[in-house]
Amino acid sequence: MNTVGDKTLNNKTVDDKAVVQEYFNATGFDRWRRIYGDGEVNKVQLDIRKGHQQTVDTVLAWLQADGNLASLTVCDAGCGVGSLSIPLAAAGAKVYASDISEKMVGEAQTRAETALGQADNPTFAVQDLEALSGHYHTVICLDVLIHYPQEKAIAMIDHLSSLADSRLILSFAPKTFAYSLLKKLATFSLAPAKQLVPICIEKPTL
Ligand SMILES: C[S@@+](CC[C@H](N)C(=O)[O-])C[C@H]1O[C@@H](n2cnc3c(N)ncnc32)[C@H](O)[C@@H]1O
């Protein structure tokens, strides 16, 4: 029997998450490491890089507006190469960063050591979103849910919310037919990049 998030293809059960993990440990790793770097990229990738930087800057500004980043614990769920975790740690937040891809985590660790010169903040782990536990002031999950089995996305948002004492910050796009087509065309540099806008869900203080 298939679990939710698995598909049957040519009579084989395909686990969406295993496919994503494999992608971000191989071709996806090369692609996204380049996009989230400062080397030469094609026009579509440059658009994605600029849009992503805007997202990171927006989230940093939201957290800095609180005035005391040094007192915050932050869970960066699906941290990629550390584009957000590293500046957050540099600003004093205590950051727990994790990702399903070992290669992305390895790259994030290297970048953190280069940028911050020390290894204990952020703390990095290779971990699936589902395995996350604990409590954090803020939980952030940027540009990850688009890669997550869509049938499970609502339950995952619920799970991430349960880890957040104060707020959950997410960016996502509903996986419609039009969006999937755009994404496919973008891999061949035929479509403009679409920027995901972050949303912040504040938890009420009782
Ligand atoms: C497009 S990157 C975004 C990285 C980072 N959040 C950022 O904004 O810089 C998507 C990341 O999500 C990770 N990812 C996808 N599915 C995941 C899952 N189920 N659990 C943890 N990480 C996941 C991928 O490995 C990849 O590093």
Residue 1 included in any domain:
no
128 lines ligand 1 (CB under 6 A): yes
Domain with residue 69: its CATH number is 3.40.50.150
CB hemisphere CA count around 204 (13 angstroms): 1
Residue 189 included in any domain:
yes
State pTM to two decimals: 0.87
CA-closest candidate to residue 173, choices 152, 194, 200: 194
Q: What is the pLDDT of residue 178?
A: 60
CA distances to 90, 99, 165, 190 from 50, rounded to whole Å, are: 21, 22, 31, 18
144 lines ligand 1 (CB under 6 A): yes
Average pLDDT over residues 36-54: 94
C-alpha of residue 82 to centroid of ligand 1, in Å: 10
Distance of CA 106 to the CA centre of its chain: 15
C-alpha of residue 206 to centroid of ligand 1, in Å: 32
87: preceding bond cis by omega (within 30 degrees): no
Q: Domain count for the chain, please give it.
A: 1
Instruction: Tell me the residue range of the domain where 192 lies.
Output: 6-202
Convert the pLDDT of each residue in 151-169 to its tens digit: 888 999 999 999 999 999 9
172 lines ligand 1 (CB under 6 A): no
